[in-house]
Amino acid sequence: MDFLPFTRPTIDDEVIRLVTEVLRSGWITTGPKVNEFEKSLAAYVSSDTGKVPYVKVFTSATGALETALQVMGIGEGDEVIVPAMTFTASANVVALVGAKPVLVDVDLKTRNLTIEGVKKAITSRTKCIMPVHFAGLPVDMDPLYELAKQHNIRVLEDAAHAIGTRYKNRKIGSFGDMISFSFHPNKNMTTIEGGALVLWKEAEAQQVDLLRFHGLQKDAFGNMDVLMPARKFNMPDVSAAVGIAQLKRLDEFCSKRLKLVDTYYQLLNHPLLNLPERGDDGHCWHIFSPLINFTQLGMTRPQFIQKMADEKIGIGVHYQALTTFTAYKDMGYSCPQAERIGRETVTLPLFPAMTKVDVERVCQTVLRYLN
């Protein structure tokens, strides 16, 4: 029996064909494929609404998030509200632009920040709210945007988990302020490494072009100027070629993930298990991460992970709460739900090439250890 990892990208012949074409073309860094990929992403997110945003791709979502904060003018003295249950990049970028990440607790079931939590965290210094659509389950965005509007605060959606997800029948990225996607290999689609930023204002899109490539500007005669020192986050054409092929299959990947998760919900039922909130059919599942009460089970999580590995099943951990990390633990935030999730979460295998039989095997094995 082969080892079943908790995730695996679907790299098909079309990806290999397109990448080979780029590698043979003589131009492998940022060029025509990046252009084409940005257009395809803009068309994808706007396919229901026809309202086409600006889409700018990056070498990572981390780069996209940091650049978005810079474009929003966020820095020293500003606060950005970030959920304590997320990958550390969400808060790191806030600290890196000189602002303060204000960590708020999340809901135990949805793993998402709550409107009430955000309301309590808003101060006169709050410049931005960064909701994370955890595991692809959308945050309740209508009241969040309403709240942001009332306080004149910007919203940067960390949608690293949520490309392909719909909120109230609208694709994430088809509305809102700024939205960042990740194309890391674990995500719903990949470019090997990569990310994208969706935005709506032309002036801000032009600023992104400067900030993701050295602050460099060229005029029509090829004269160069550097308007400000800036990072280098340009995606190569090889990655964009992977993304073009992946995007064509994204909806199929999402429906496969949804079906596999259906089986998890049918089979997994145990008093020591706490299953995550289930969205509607618009939920493109990034990860399936139930909580296990390890204290009652009388086993530690590393022991559980080892036992599952012995059974050839890979388990991930997404994530430890940010409030438990050295970089953030002395900031005085108390986020008990995020911390509990961080202690009890286990990510079970979920990727499009899995079969129902794989899910059944995972469930039988998990239940055997729980019993």
Ligand X SMILES: Cc1ncc(COP(=O)(O)O)c(C=O)c1O
* Active site (catalytic) residues: 187
87/318 Cα distance (integer angstroms): 8
Q: Which is nearer to ligand X, 55 or 363 (CB)?
A: 55
Q: Which is nearer to ligand X, 263 or 279 (CB)?
A: 279
187/161 Cα distance (integer angstroms): 6
Measuring CA to CA, which residue among 65, 35, 59 is closest to residue 235?
Answer: 59
Residue 87 as a binder of ligand X (CB under 6 A): the answer is yes
Per-residue x/- mask for ligand X, residues 142 to 181, rule CB under 6 A? Answer: ----------------x-xx--------------------
Q: Which is nearer to ligand X, 182 or 365 (CB)?
A: 182
Q: Which of 30, 60, 67, 188 binds ligand X (CB under 6 A)?
A: 60
104/120 Cα distance (integer angstroms): 9
Q: Which of 34, 55, 89, 272 binds ligand X (CB under 6 A)?
A: 89
Nearest distance in Å: CB 246, ligand X: 14
3-state SS class at 288: strand
Q: Which of 30, 114, 126, 182 binds ligand X (CB under 6 A)?
A: 182
Which range binds ligand X by CB under 6 A, 82-90, 116-124, 202-210, 252-260?
82-90
Backbone angles phi, psi at 158, to 5 degrees: -85, 95
**Angle subtended by helix axes 202-211 and 61-71, to nearest 10:** 120
Q: Which is nearer to ligand X, 110 or 182 (CB)?
A: 182
Residue 110 as a binder of ligand X (CB under 6 A): the answer is no
Q: Which residues contact 133 (CB under 8 A, 6 or more apart)?
A: 112, 139, 157, 158, 159, 161, 162, 165, 172
Q: Which is nearer to ligand X, 196 or 292 (CB)?
A: 196
Residue 132 as a binder of ligand X (CB under 6 A): the answer is yes
Residue 347: strand pairing partners: 316
Q: Which of 46, 62, 92, 114 binds ligand X (CB under 6 A)?
A: 62
Residue 365 as a binder of ligand X (CB under 6 A): the answer is no
Q: Which is nearer to ligand X, 89 or 104 (CB)?
A: 89
E strands, the chain, in order: 54-58, 79-83, 100-104, 126-129, 154-158, 166-167, 170-171, 178-182, 195-199, 216-218, 224-226, 273-274, 291-292
Cis before residue 44, ω within 30 degrees of 0? no
Residue 70 as a binder of ligand X (CB under 6 A): the answer is no
Residue 342 as a binder of ligand X (CB under 6 A): the answer is no
CB 265 within 8 A of CB 310: no
Nearest distance in Å: CB 132, ligand X: 5
Provide the 10 A C-beta neighbour count for residue 35: 13
Residue 322 as a binder of ligand X (CB under 6 A): the answer is no
Q: Rule CB under 6 A: which residues touch ligand X? A: 60-62, 86-87, 89-90, 132, 158, 160-161, 182, 184, 195
